[in-house]
Structure 1
């Protein structure tokens, strides 16, 4: 069959794929490959279909053929994503770096590399690739949120606050990141600004009182880096709050052994209660922290 016939089959397969007739499209793509083993677009589209069906083993097989025939940033990225889904992270890293050789400003490759290096607990490279995205696109939502949480989890509060301010200016309404912003303000000793922000949220933001319920809704799929950080923080908050409540129970039996929290501990407790959907308790400990700080300064 000539090139025109192969192209006609390919066009038909694409139409079938777009109309949701994936099985028919796959059969026609495979027929194209039998006629012309060098027609890389058929391999590429078969890989995409299997990836959508979550069959990443087959997807990598077809993407691999597409890369051999026509190595470009798109095919390298496709196979990298499937290897990532299969948790074959080193292979994913290899192809992502290949993709960046073809297109050094390919944002999706930088983001996925940052995510993989975060999984591998490689802080240096996680920061490098997130920063690369911000250099390419200073207003990139995912990178700004990811860097804000990256810095926060490592107690790099000035850098985290800077990223949070940029994020919330461009993408207002994220109650979870506003809670983090409030916590950082308090950790820096700016209790008044922290209390003002929390009071405003408690009054106007319905998500403020239902953190657990709104966590998933607050983020899109592309915000994986920041969302995973918040899941870790939420998990730690539950654990620490459970420990504090146990300590309170013991204090009723031995009150002489119980010491009240210092300002920073009180601020931490405030955030714990926020993450567990109890704004009243949160405000009590925030006010307590502010008063304790004022007493130590007089």
Structure 2
């Protein structure tokens, strides 16, 4: 395979990869590696597919080969850290991602990943610092605002509200940013505001059993038992086995 054909194969494989056509992409990456087994980008990219498929050992083998051949690539170390996190090796994951930041201290995905890992390690101050840095680097990243909002909410920190609102602003047509914000308002007793958020979702055609259940909780919070029962009933219409909605309904009957 000539260098031109290798470049062509890479382009096709990456396109298939983006389309989640993993088997076809892997076949092309393997062809490239048959020609040049030391090609770090092919090892890196096929590693990402194995990680997405849950084949962590194969993913680990390839990402380690990629790092061995190109240790100066920050993103390789960053994705290695994400893999180690998926394998439950939290401290090793942190170490790998810190290596990536020594190479490129402005790599957004590394700061974001550290936020996730530190949260899982219950090192919340470090998680906040990591998400904050990620947002400073990429203020239009809804996933970072959402995760930081959830973290602040769990810590009863009022800064959660700003980041929930920012998430909704960035992805206004998705269900979970508004639902998360509504549940935060429920948590702090601002039921009228949670009802407003949830009704916006229904108006957008984004109703779900969780939306109706949260509406029920909100109406119960303002002592509107009739509407609360109606909302819990709608949640159960969508999923008769939704135990939380059933429990909430039973609590007012």
Q: Same fold (TM over 0.5)?
A: yes
Distance 1:186 1:117, change over 3 A: closer
**Aligned residue among 110, 113, 138 for 1:103:** 138
Which structure 2 segments of 5+ residues have no match?
1-6, 8-35
Counterpart position of 1:128? 162
Distance 1:181 1:12, change over 3 A: closer
Counterpart position of 1:249? none
Deviation digits for residues 94-118 of structure 1 (CA, Å, limit 9, x no counterpart)? 1111111111010111011111112
Q: Supply the RMSD in Å over aligned alpha carbons.
A: 3.2
1:18 and 2:52 equivalent?
Answer: no
**Distance (whole Å) between structure 1 residues aligned to residue 123 and residue 100 of structure 2:** 19
Q: How many residue pairs get matched?
A: 214
**Aligned residue among 33, 55, 60 for 2:94:** 60
**Distance (whole Å) between structure 2 residues aligned to residue 132 and residue 106 of structure 1:** 9
Counterpart position of 1:218? none
**Distance (whole Å) between structure 2 residues aligned to residue 187 and residue 81 of structure 1:** 32
Which structure 1 segments of 5+ residues have no match?
216-233, 235-273, 284-298
**Distance (whole Å) between structure 1 residues aligned to residue 87 and residue 232 of structure 2:** 46
Give the structure with higher Rg (CA).
1
The question of whether the paired residues in 1 share the 8 Å contact of 2:225 and 2:252 is answered with no
Distance 1:138 1:200, change over 3 A: same
Deviation digits for residues 139-185 of structure 1 (CA, Å, limit 9, x no counterpart)? 332221112122123221221110110123332231x4324424544
Counterpart position of 2:185? 151
2:126 counterpart SS class: helix
1:205 counterpart SS class: helix
The question of whether the paired residues in 1 share the 8 Å contact of 2:38 and 2:69 is answered with no
Q: TM-score, normalized by length of structure 1? A: 0.61
Deviation digits for residues 33-65 of structure 1 (CA, Å, limit 9, x no counterpart)? 445431223212311221221222111111111
Counterpart position of 1:201? 234
Greater RCO between the two (CA within 8 Å, min separation 6)?
A: 1
Distance 1:103 1:207, change over 3 A: same
How is 1:1-298 mapped onto 2 (pairs within 5 angstroms)?
Answer: 8-19=39-50, 22-70=56-104, 71-122=106-157, 124-169=158-203, 170-174=205-209, 176-182=210-216, 184-185=218-219, 188=222, 193=227, 197=230, 201=234, 205=237, 207=239, 210-212=241-243, 215=244, 274-275=246-247, 278=250, 282-283=252-253
2:88 counterpart SS class: coil
The question of whether the paired residues in 1 share the 8 Å contact of 2:56 and 2:87 is answered with no
Distance 1:51 1:157, change over 3 A: same
Q: TM-score, normalized by length of structure 2? A: 0.70
Distance 1:38 1:16, change over 3 A: closer
**Distance (whole Å) between structure 1 residues aligned to residue 49 and residue 117 of structure 2:** 21
